[in-house]
Amino acid sequence: MKPIKTLVQLFKQSIHLPNKKVVFGLNRVTMRDALTYLFVLLFILLLPDGIDWLSNGQMIGDSQHSVYVLLVITFYPMYVIFSGLIGSSLLAVGGFIFAKICKRNLAYQHIWKMSLFALTIPLMLNTILSLLGWEYWLIQLFLFGFFYIILVRMVMIYPKK
């Protein structure tokens, strides 16, 4: 299957979470495709921040401007990768603890992959609200709770041990 087609299909399926059929289908996705989806999604959604970083460098002198642009172009992808891996791993820990409390037969790797796809809608909402200038801690708290509602509903689809 072509990579772009796969990413579009994963995006469409992620929008429909926590549908039971979609949850089981997404857990069959390879880890490579899941990570590619996460990095592309984060790169696109964090692109306004990257552009903002570049535009803030306009105030730097000409000799330092090229160094600043090179640093942003170099470190922005690393920022996306690092924030994606660490953020999704920390969020998955909460889902894993919930799965163990509810005695669901799920390994951490499945919860981690589920958390990647459950992040789609909250991340999109966060980017849209951020572009509109609505960056309040209460909105972040709501999106955090919304993510866990999706993840908990996905975990509850699986049978008990």
Q: pTM of the prediction?
A: 0.81
Lowest mean pLDDT among 39-43, 55-59, 145-149: 55-59
Mean pLDDT computed over 67-77: 74
Higher-confidence residue of 116 and 48: namely 116
Q: Measured between alpha carbons, how far is 122 from 128 in angstroms, rounded to an integer?
A: 10
- Dist CA 40 CA 81 (whole Å): 10
Give the mean pLDDT of 2-13.
80
* Residue 4, pLDDT above cutoff 70: no
